[in-house]
Amino acid sequence: MGVKSVKIKSYNNLSIKKQEGITGYLFITPFLIGFIVFQGIPFISAMFISMTDIRFSTNFSKIKFIGFDNFIRLVSDQTFIQSFGRTIFYSVLYVPSIIILGLLFACIVNGKIFARNFIRTSIFMPYVSNMVAIAIIWSLLLDYKDGPVNMFLKSIGVENPPMWLLGNMGDVIPTIVIIVCWQAIGFYMITFLAALQGIPSTLLEAADLDGASRFQKFYHITLPIISPTTFFLLINAILSSFHNFGIIRVLTKGGPGSSSRVLSINIYEEAFNYSRIGYATSQSMVLLLLILAITLFQWKYQKKWVNY
């Protein structure tokens, strides 16, 4: 008890600033421990593994450190280069689509429309649904021969309906993007809706008195005010576009052929089908660097268009 009372007394003798600093470190210590154990150590381990030739069957005593050989090999690996290109293609389609559609639906449900609450709930429901179940349902709907979508298209005179999930990259990846946008749009709509409802009505009323059109109010008032929300959702959309393993794995498994074999699928195939753990980890490091570079670029230039 004597030691404890001495510690409390010495703590009380410190300045308020130092006491606040110590208290703050005590609060973040559990998070730091968890971050180091579950994020930091695995990351360092992954960096080391990416520079080895480790396989599932490799004895730990026989693991060879090969430096940057795995990364050099990526430059001439056509499978990796093509999967990298498909990943970029997927992101270029997904990110602007989900942002624009989310804002569009938010503007619609923010107005006075019939059954507004029901429409909001209906749009948000897919977001909280199981991704595997969604993928299975859509694979049945888009079945080339007997799917309801193509059956309907044939009934209205379309002789050669789209292949959807059975075509080339130009058919499969856009189809997957449509499904993922349908599933995730509820989150973007609700977030944008909260931002729209936070716009001061006095600004819009003043614009009406000045004779501003609907487009002028949207461009000069709405967009600048919701720009922090747009920035947050833009980062979220870009990160989500690279986390596309689950939906593609269930829908196409990277096929047909390799038309939807994006980088996340390629990493999985290299690691678990070909047992090239070190080589697969080097690809995941490249993906990490790509995401980091895009995020840093956004943070650097967000001051030019984000208004706080």
- Which residue range forms the structural domain that includes residue 43? 2-49
Question: CA-to-CA distance for 298 and 235, rounded, in angstroms?
Answer: 8
For the chain, how many structural domains are there in total?
Answer: 2
Q: Are residues 177 and 251 in the same domain?
A: yes
15 belongs to a structural domain: yes
Q: Which residues contact 65 (CB under 8 A, 6 or more apart)?
A: 51, 52
Residue whose C-alpha is closest to residue 286's, from 77, 99, 135, 137 = 77
CATH label of the domain that carries residue 200: 1.10.3720.10
CA gap 307, 223 in Å, rounded: 10
Q: How far is CA 304 from the centre of its chain?
A: 23
Q: What's the CA gap between 10 and 28, in Å, rounded?
A: 22
Residues 137 and 80 in one domain: yes
For each of the chain's 308 residues, which pLDDT tens digit applies?
A: 445 555 555 767 777 788 788 888 889 999 999 999 999 999 999 999 999 988 877 677 778 889 899 999 999 999 999 999 999 999 999 999 999 999 999 999 988 888 888 888 899 999 988 888 898 899 999 988 888 999 999 999 888 888 888 878 888 999 999 999 999 999 999 999 999 999 998 998 899 888 889 899 999 999 999 999 999 999 999 999 998 998 999 999 998 888 999 999 999 999 999 889 999 999 999 999 999 999 899 888 888 888 87
Residues 109 and 37 in one domain: no
Q: Name the residue among 61, 63, 77, 44 with its Cα closest to residue 280.
A: 77
Backbone φ and ψ of 65, nearest 5°: -85, 115
In a domain, 64, yes or no: no
Question: For residue 7, is it within any domain?
Answer: yes
**Distance (Å, whole) CA 42 – CA 36:** 9
Domain assignment present for 58: no
